[in-house]
Amino acid sequence: MSVPDYMQSAEDHQTVLVVVQPVGIVPEDQFFKIYKRIATVSQVSIRDSQRLLYIRYRHHYLPENNEWGDFQTHRKVVGLIAITTCGSAKEWSQTAERFHGQKEVYSSTLYDSRLLVFGLQGEIAEQQRTDVAFYPSFEDCSDVEKRVEDFVESIFIVLESKRLDRATDKSGDKIPLLCVPFEKKDFVGLDTDSRHYKKRCQGRMRKHVGDLCLQAGMLQDALVHYHMSVELLRGVNDFLWLGAALEGLCSASVIFHYPGGTAGKAPGRKLSMSQAADAGKRHRPGAQEVLIDPGALTANGISADTSTEIGRAKNCLSPEDIIEKYKEAISYYGKYKNAGVIELEACVKAVRVLAIQKRAREASDFLQNAVYINLGQLSEEEKIQRYSILSELYELIGFHRKSAFFKRVAAMQCVAPTIPEPGWRACYKLLLETLPGYSLSLDPKDFSKGTHRGWAAVQMRLLHELVYASRRMGNPGLSVRHLSFLLQTMLDFLSDQEKKEVTQSLENYTSKCPGGMEVITLPDGLKLPPVPFTKLPIVRSVKLLNLPVSLRPHKVKELLGHNMSTASPFIYSPIIMHNRGEERCKKIDFQWVQGDVCEVQLMVYNPMPYELRVENMGLLTSGVEFESLPAALSLPAESGLYPVTLVGAPRTAGNITVNGYHTSVFGVTSDCLLEGLPAVKTTGCLVEVIPSLPRLQLSTSLPRYKTLNSHLTVSVQLFNGETQQLTITLENIGSEDIETLELTSKIVSTKEKVFGNFLSWELDEPLSHLPLKPGQAVTLTVNIKVKLDFSGQESLLQDLNDDGISVTGLPISSPLRQVLKPRPENKPVSSEPGKAEYSHIKTLEAVLNFKYSGGAGKVEGYYRELSLGVHVDVEPSVFFTRVSTLPATSTRQCYLLLDIFNPTEHELTVCAKNNQDLVLHASECQRMAIQVDKFDFESLPQPDQETARFTNPKQLQEERQHAQGCQINSKLGICWSIISFQSLASFVV
């Protein structure tokens, strides 16, 4: 006996073994169909005796094992059901022959046999035979179960007769010595008359009767017989059989204590639940109320006298004793090398009992012992079976780690180098089953939050093995998935060297079979969820970026007001909703425009010790149609936070949500969703996309000026009083027509006082070109005119002094006023000490704002603004260092004497109304006399009531001065020009 039956349990001792076998040619599927139907008859209630007979069916049983039938009768094949097909009457004799041959194999132990013939019709089938049943086909055999029950009853009759026969052996009769196959030679030449030998025979027979009683459903009798047998065999130190008697005692007790069974299998038993319940109520019908004290029995048979009433429980072992006795039995078995299988099976049975008793630790002792039982040379397949069953038993007692360990050993055994055809598929399957034991699941979500679960070192090993096994199975897709999982979840535990190795092999695999995001379903239904590489690279924050200033859409005001009404009625509320969960869904308060490229900035870093190449990195969005423009990046080893901008263009309008990003690393594409990444900081992922708007591009005739502001700025250098034209070309570079265009200007706050219109333009001409089709352009001319007050500059004054020119009074560029209306308190603002510019050059800045709109965005009430900055450096041109008047020839006129100073490096001419030109060389000062009409300032119009409310006298003063200056200016009409520039500028007052 070399092949253990690992599925055995204690209650199998009460079953009778029936072998069901095909004879001749029987289609396998048909055979198993019939076999299953037969197997449903697993317990039969015997008509007259209230007893139940349990049947165990096997379709394969080694005759070698049958030889142990005397030792434990449930190992004995007592019934044979042969299934055969027979096409014609001619074949019948041959079939019958075969059936007999089959019977021969188990002839020594068979009680009865049956032959089920399928397909035969006609004369032979008509005849009534008890041992043969004819069925026309495999489909048409409704009474198979009935037949089997009849068959079982006939077996019972034989069993019962055998039991009675053995149980009532007369004391005078010579009891034959029962023995196991390997003992036979030991007893040759032994004195058969010795008391010792007789006792041995008695003991063994008693045990045998106990087995038969148990099988025949007489539990209490069996207990009694076992008890007696134990006594007898203990006396003669017949350890092997003593062990068997003890085990029998245990089995009977287990059957008594746990009627539900210990194996948790036996589908037949479960089918007839009502029956089983009945049996429970009837107190084990086989017990027959024979309550016998073993001591009251004679050694030679059961006395019919059962007068001594003893509690049933006395014969039966208590749950604790069952284990003790199992231990003892196993220790006896252990003395015999040839009884290894018996010992192993006993261990398995004991473990099952302990599992029911929930005594895991003791069960583990039994299992530990079972591991060391040497069964001689085992084939690889047997080893696998053994490890698997150990694993199952460990699982049964709740030792999941140990179970996983043995399952893994079994898996490794499947592909042991000694096996010519390694079973990688089986190995892989077994390895998958070990996963729970190592707290490992194949879903990366389980590892994305909290601390790492389980034992990383062994988990890594297991994953490596899975990768290898799946590769050998010829399924590179699986290898890639497992390897990705390994890399993603065990990244923190991999050494630099290992990281390198893992990624290298991953790249190798993906070169053949790129990894993706689909769920892999294994043949047995297990689903392997996709593994997105959220750690390669690690993303720390996601930020949606606003459009560049010039492209930002603005809402037309009145429509905005309409929008506001739908929002909260409160302008301000101190209650801030602290809802973290909604933070991600929070709408961002800027808009993207349909068709325009928008950007999302990610802060990423590479945790790998080498350069990481991320390809095809793009955005995952929902809500509107979005065209993502993927980027490829290469992150240096162990990089710090590294900004990456992902771009794309929404193709329709609506609300867009950025759900995540996709990458392709080492040939594995991943879709990383933000909701699965709690560590990622984000300021909100929902943005409104408004309908498309046109785009305008500006180009100017003047050079650009570099500036800190985001908008385009042109720069020009002018002398004070000079006028320059700026040509702006407006081109529609978008895809929508520009339908409206507005232009405004604003002077950037300056402390300088600007006279006159700084910027002026004529918009009618370009407006006539509207709507502007894409690709078209219009030009617009803007006049830049600078008139600044350069008076009172200390440094300039200094220069004048150096030139040896005597300066009286204040050197102001508008000295006329000073002279005509000398007021000591009225000093120009700019001449205050400390306020003096250190440079002669003054700058003036203004912004031209183009508002334009068109297309669908205009309908929605949006427009865009494009700004053009104008930066002008103003240099001083002409100074009047001194002003005085002389009476002229006419009383209505006088001469105005002006000392004019040219601070520039160019020669310039100055002319006044009805006067000749005066040529001034660089840094030259000359006097000019102009004849003018006298006039009175009082004749100027007084400021009207509205302006009179300027209570500040200084402001009033300035107002007045300005008006006066204008008047003088119009009278004089002084202008100058730099000869070399050929430019003409009007004089600044």
Segment lying near another protein (by CB under 8 A), choices 57-65, 139-147, 358-366, 415-423: 358-366
Q: Which is nearer to another protein, 282 or 461 (CB)?
A: 461
Residues 6+ apart with CB under 8 A from 893: 931, 932, 933, 934
At 423 the three-state DSSP class reads coil
Q: Using the rule CB under 8 A, which residue among 60, 361, 751, 949 binds another protein?
A: 361
Q: For residue 307, give the DSSP letter.
A: -
Q: Decide if residue 377 touches another protein (CB under 8 A).
A: no
Q: Decide if residue 401 touches another protein (CB under 8 A).
A: yes
Q: Decide if residue 512 touches another protein (CB under 8 A).
A: no
For residue 858, give both structure tokens. 């205009």
- Give the span between the Cα atoms of 326 and 357, in whole angstroms: 14
According to DSSP, the residues that pair with 746 across neighbouring strands are 847
As measured in angstroms, the least distance from the Cβ of 375 to another protein is 16
Sign of the alpha-carbon torsion through 534, 540, 544, 549? negative
Q: Decide if residue 398 touches another protein (CB under 8 A).
A: yes
Closest CA to 342 of 373, 378, 380: 373
Q: Decide if residue 357 touches another protein (CB under 8 A).
A: no
For residue 258, give both structure tokens. 């746990």
For residue 836, give both structure tokens. 């003096």
Count of residues interacting with another protein (CB under 8 A): 20
Q: Using the rule CB under 8 A, which residue among 168, 303, 308, 368 binds another protein?
A: 368
Interface mask toward another protein for 313-352; x: CB under 8 A: ----------------------------------------
As measured in angstroms, the least distance from the Cβ of 452 to another protein is 6
Asked whether the beta carbons of 625 and 650 are under 8 A apart, the reply is yes
For residue 675, give both structure tokens. 């909701």
Q: Which long-range contacts (CB under 8 A, 24 or more apart) does 95-101 make?
A: 95/23, 95/24, 98/23, 98/24, 99/23
- Give the span between the Cα atoms of 68 and 342, in whole angstroms: 10
- Give the span between the Cα atoms of 391 and 402, in whole angstroms: 7
- Give the span between the Cα atoms of 204 and 207, in whole angstroms: 5
As measured in angstroms, the least distance from the Cβ of 332 to another protein is 22
Segment lying near another protein (by CB under 8 A), choices 126-134, 395-403, 626-634, 958-966: 395-403
Segment lying near another protein (by CB under 8 A), choices 130-138, 393-401, 591-599, 648-656: 393-401
- Counting beta carbons within 10 angstroms of the beta carbon of residue 956, is it exposed (0 to 12), middle (13 to 18) or buried (19 or more)? middle
Interface mask toward another protein for 436-475; x: CB under 8 A: --x------------xxx-x-xx--x--------------
At 567 the three-state DSSP class reads coil
Q: Using the rule CB under 8 A, which residue among 106, 405, 661, 719 binds another protein?
A: 405
Segment lying near another protein (by CB under 8 A), choices 76-84, 316-324, 399-407, 892-900: 399-407
The single residue listed with the structure tokens 């084939």 is 379
Q: Using the rule CB under 8 A, which residue among 372, 570, 572, 838 binds another protein?
A: 372
Q: Decide if residue 949 touches another protein (CB under 8 A).
A: no
Fill in the amino acid letter for 403: S
Q: Which is nearer to another protein, 434 or 902 (CB)?
A: 434
Q: Which is nearer to another protein, 358 or 557 (CB)?
A: 358
Segment lying near another protein (by CB under 8 A), choices 401-409, 428-436, 537-545, 976-984: 401-409
- DSSP per residue over 80-123, as a string? EEEEEE--SHHHHHHHHHHHHHHHHHTTTT-SEEEEEEES--SH
Residues 814-833 that bind another protein (CB under 8 A): none
Q: For residue 473, give the DSSP letter.
A: T
Q: Which is nearer to another protein, 327 or 584 (CB)?
A: 327
Within 10 angstroms of residue 221's Cβ, the number of other Cβ atoms is 25
Fill in the amino acid letter for 869: G
b or e along 392-401 (b: 16 or more beta carbons within 10 Å of the residue's beta carbon)? bbbbbbebbe
Asked whether the beta carbons of 903 and 799 are under 8 A apart, the reply is yes
Q: Which is nearer to another protein, 371 or 829 (CB)?
A: 371
- Give the span between the Cα atoms of 4 and 504, in whole angstroms: 46
- Give the span between the Cα atoms of 477 and 483, in whole angstroms: 10
Give CA separation, 746 vs 759, 760, 869, in Å. Answer: 9, 11, 10
Q: Which is nearer to another protein, 414 or 460 (CB)?
A: 460
Q: Which is nearer to another protein, 398 or 643 (CB)?
A: 398
As measured in angstroms, the least distance from the Cβ of 539 to another protein is 24
Q: Using the rule CB under 8 A, which residue among 386, 402, 858, 871 binds another protein?
A: 402
- Give the span between the Cα atoms of 76 and 579, in whole angstroms: 73
Q: Using the rule CB under 8 A, which residue among 400, 472, 769, 906 binds another protein?
A: 400
Q: Using the rule CB under 8 A, which residue among 31, 134, 156, 399 binds another protein?
A: 399
Interface mask toward another protein for 783-802; x: CB under 8 A: --------------------
Q: Which is nearer to another protein, 404 or 930 (CB)?
A: 404
Q: Which is nearer to another protein, 405 or 758 (CB)?
A: 405
As measured in angstroms, the least distance from the Cβ of 345 to another protein is 22
As measured in angstroms, the least distance from the Cβ of 402 to another protein is 5
H or E segment at 724? strand 723-732
As measured in angstroms, the least distance from the Cβ of 355 to another protein is 12
Segment lying near another protein (by CB under 8 A), choices 392-400, 483-491, 587-595, 940-948: 392-400
Q: Decide if residue 360 touches another protein (CB under 8 A).
A: yes
H or E segment at 476? helix 476-489
Interface mask toward another protein for 647-666; x: CB under 8 A: --------------------
Q: Which is nearer to another protein, 372 or 570 (CB)?
A: 372
Segment lying near another protein (by CB under 8 A), choices 77-85, 394-402, 668-676, 775-783: 394-402
- DSSP per residue over 482-504, as a string? HHHHHHHHSGGG--HHHHHHHHH
- The residues of the shown chain that bind another protein, judged by CB under 8 A, are 360-361, 364, 368, 372, 394, 398-402, 405, 438, 451-453, 455, 457-458, 461
